[in-house]
A and B are shown apart, each in its own frame.
Chain A
Amino acid sequence: MSTLPLVDLLGYWLGIFLTLSILSFLYKDNPFYKLAEHAFIGISIGYIIIQQYYNTLRPKLVGELGMGHWLALIPLALVLMMIVKGLSQRFGWVGRYPLAFVVAFYAGLQINGVTSADIGKQVERAMADPVDYKTDVNTADRGELFSLGLPPAVVDGIIKQRAQKPFTSLGQIADMPDLSAANRADVRGSRGPIVGLDSHASIEPGRVNAFGTFSQILLFLGLIAALIYFYFSVEHKGVIGKVSRFGVWILMIGFGASFGYTVMGRLALMIGRIQEIRGDTMPSAVADQVHGPWVALASIIIIVGGIVAWELLRSDAPPAGPAQGGDDGDDSDDADANSNGEPVGSAS
C-alpha cells in the first residue's frame, strides 16, 4: 500500500472540514461558513482564470500572435472593446459591438440546431400515428426487436428461433435454448400487460397496444392544451378556458416531475459528500489513510466549539448601533441571512 502524499491527505481533510463549515449555515450565518464561502469563490475564480489562460488565451491568442498570425488581433480587439464598456461611460457604446458579435454568432448557431433537433424531430414524434401497434416478434426486423428493450443476445435468439418455428406465445421467448440465466430472468422480469413486454409485443400482426394508444392521444391533447394556455390572442373563457385549464394541469405535472428530479439531484449532492467522508468513493487503501469519519468528528468539534465561543464573544460585546447595520456584531454584508443571522425563510 503506497503512502498518500501529505498534500493529498491535507486536501481530503480540508474538503471534509469545509463541507461541514458550509453545513454550519443551517444553524445560522457564522465565521466558519463565511470562511468556506469566501474560499470557494476565491478558489473558483482563480481556477477559472488559470484554466482559461492555459486552454484558451495562451494557445489561441499568445501562441497565435507569437507565430505571426495577426488575425488573432481581431478577438483581442473585441475583448478590449468589452473592457472599454466597463471603464468609460462616454465610450461604453464600443462594448456593444463584441456583444452583438457574440449574440449574433450563437443565435445563428442555435437556430439551425433547435429547428432540426427540437422542433422538427419533436413535431414528428407528436404527429405519430395515434394508434400504437404492437411489434410482431415473428416478422419484426432487428432494430424493432431491439427497441422492445430486449438484450442483444435475446434479439439474436428470437431471429434464429423464428426461422425454425414461429413463436406461438411470448412466453416462449424466455424459454429459448442458449439463453443465459441473466437474459432469461431479464425477459421474464420485463413481462407485463400495461407497460411491460406484453403491451409492446405480440406474436401476430395488427394487435393494438391500448396503453400506448392512450398515451399517444394524451400526448397530443396535452400538447395542444399546453400551447393554448400560452395563446393570448383569444380570451380564456368557455371551451378555450377549459382547454387552457387542462393545459395548466399538464404543465403542473411536468413541473412536478422536474421538481422530483431536482430533489433527487440535491439529495445526491449530500449523499456524495457523506460517501466522501465515509471513504466510499475512494480506494480502500486511500480511505484507510484519510480516516474520514474521525476527521469529520474533529471538524464538528472545532466548528461547534468555535461557534459557541463566537456566540459568547458576541453576547459580551456592546450592542452595535444602527450604523453597523443589524445586531450581528460583525460587518458582513450578509445577503442570505436575516438580521438574526438565520437563513432567509426561517420564521422561528
Chain B
Amino acid sequence: MADSSNEKLHWSVRLQRFDRRWVFLAMAVAILVPFILPCNVPYKASPMVKSLYYTIEELEPGDEVFVSLDYDPASMPELQPFLEALMLQLKRKNIKMVFATTWYSAPPLVQRDISELVERPIEPTGAYGGLPDRAYVKNKDFVWLGFREGREAVISAMGNDLWATFDNRADDGTPLSQIPMMQGYKQLKDFDLVIVVGAGYPGVKEYVQQVQARYNLRMVGACTAVSTTEYTPYYQAGQLLGLAGGMAGSAEYEMLVGRKATAAQGNDVLNAGYLVVILAIIFGNIIYFVSRKRKGGAVR
C-alpha cells in the first residue's frame, strides 16, 4: 500500500520523506574512507592559533604558567591533541606549570595526562624530529592543585587568593608553603600566562569574565568547536591573546609545534565530513525550493 501511494507522489515529496539514515550512512563512509586513504589536504594556521603559539613562545625558561584543565571524556577528541602539543611546547621551553580544574569530571583525566604527558617525555609520533622534552618532577617543575567545586566562585577566588582556594595544599597534601616553585605565586596575576583548556561551562568565558578583566591577565585558551564563535570576540577585543577552537584549531596548533598527531589526522577526516554536510544542505535546499514552487510559494 505504501509503495503504491508513494508512486503517485511527486519526486520532491518522496525525497522530503526519504530516510535520514542514508545521510548517516553517507557520513559514516565519508569519515571512514580518509582513515584508510588519507588525503593529507594542506592547511594553514589561523591568526588566532598562531597568536596563541607565539604568545607561549615568548615565555622565558623558568617562567610559570597556570593551566586550568576543564574538560571531560566527551571533549577529549578535540582538546586532548591540543593538550599534548601544549605540554610539548611548554616542556621544551622549560616552563613551570601549575594545574587545577573546576570540572568534577576532570581529575582522573588530568591525573592520567600528568602521568603520561608531564611526568615522562612525550612519545614522538610519525616523522617528529623536533626539540626533545624531558620528564617533569612533581612539586618541583609542576604542581597539581586538584579540583574545587564552585564554578565562577572558585575562579574568582583563585584570582584573589589561589592558595586559600585550595586550602594551602597541593592535591597530594603537600603544603604549598613547602613547594619552592609556588613561592611568589599566590594569585593568578602572579603567573606569566594563564592557559585555559575548557570544554564548556565553566571554562574560557568564565575565566575572562571573573579574572582576566579584573586583573588584566595575560591569557590564552583552547575550546571545543561549539564554543569557538562565542569566544572569538574575546580574542578580537584583546582579552584573549590566542585561541584554538575545536579539532581544526588543535590540528593547526599541532602543526606549529611540529608534532602532527591525532588532530591533524582528524582534520583530514573533517574535510570529508564537511563535504557530506554541504551536499546535504544543497540537496535539502533543492527539495525545499522545488516544493515551494509546486505549492506556489506557500511553503515557509
**Chain A residues within 8 Å of B, Cβ to Cβ:** 26-27, 47-48, 51-52, 55-56, 59-60, 105-106, 109-110, 112-114, 116-118, 120-122, 124-125, 146-147, 149-152, 189, 254, 257-258, 261-265, 267-275, 278, 280-281, 283, 343, 345-348
Contacts and interface: CB of A to CB of B under 8 A. Distances in A.
Given A125-B233, A261-B225, A261-B229, A348 B19 contact: yes
A265 B54 contact: no
A125 B237 contact: yes
B277 A263 contact: yes
Contacts of A59: 167
B44 interface: yes
B105 A261 contact: no
Contacts of B198: none
Contacts of B107: 51, 55
B213 A121 contact: yes
Contact of B24 (A26, A105, A110, A124): A26
A117 B213 contact: yes
Contact of A262 (B35, B44, B225): B225
Contacts of B238: 121, 125
Nearest to B258: A182
B209 A120 contact: no
Contacts of A105: 153
Given A106-B152, A261-B229, A113 B213 contact: yes
Q: Is the interface of B mostly helix, strand, loop or mixed?
A: helix
B67 interface: no
B287 interface: no
A211 to B, nearest CB: 14
Contacts of A48: 104-105
Given A265-B226, A347-B19, A280 B149 contact: no
Nearest to B245: A261
A51 B105 contact: yes
A152 B236 contact: no
Interface in B163-222: 167, 206, 208-210, 212-214
Nearest to B74: A269
Contacts of B47: 149
Given A114-B209, A121-B238, A263-B277, 13 more contacts: A48-B104, A55-B146, A55-B147, A110-B152, A113-B206, A116-B213, A121-B237, A146-B58, A261-B228, A270-B27, A271-B270, A278-B35, A347-B16
A281 B80 contact: yes
The CB with the most chain A CB atoms within 10 A, among B74, B225, B265, is that of B225
17 contacts: A26-B21, A51-B105, A106-B153, A117-B208, A121-B234, A122-B237, A125-B233, A152-B58, A262-B226, A264-B274, A268-B225, A272-B78, A274-B35, A280-B265, A283-B123, A347-B16, A347-B17
B50 interface: yes
Contacts of B233: 122, 125
Contacts of B19: 346-348
B262 interface: yes
A262 B225 CA distance: 6
Q: Ordered nearest first, which 4 A-B pairs have the shortest CB separation?
A: A272-B77, A113-B209, A348-B19, A265-B225
Interface string B23-48: 01001000110010000000010010
B121 interface: no
B149 A56 contact: yes
Contact of B265 (A52, A118, A262, A275): A275
Given A125-B237, A269-B77, A149 B31 contact: no
Contacts of B269: 267, 271, 274
Nearest to A186: B50
Contacts of A55: 104, 107, 146-149
B247 interface: yes
B44 to A, nearest CB: 7
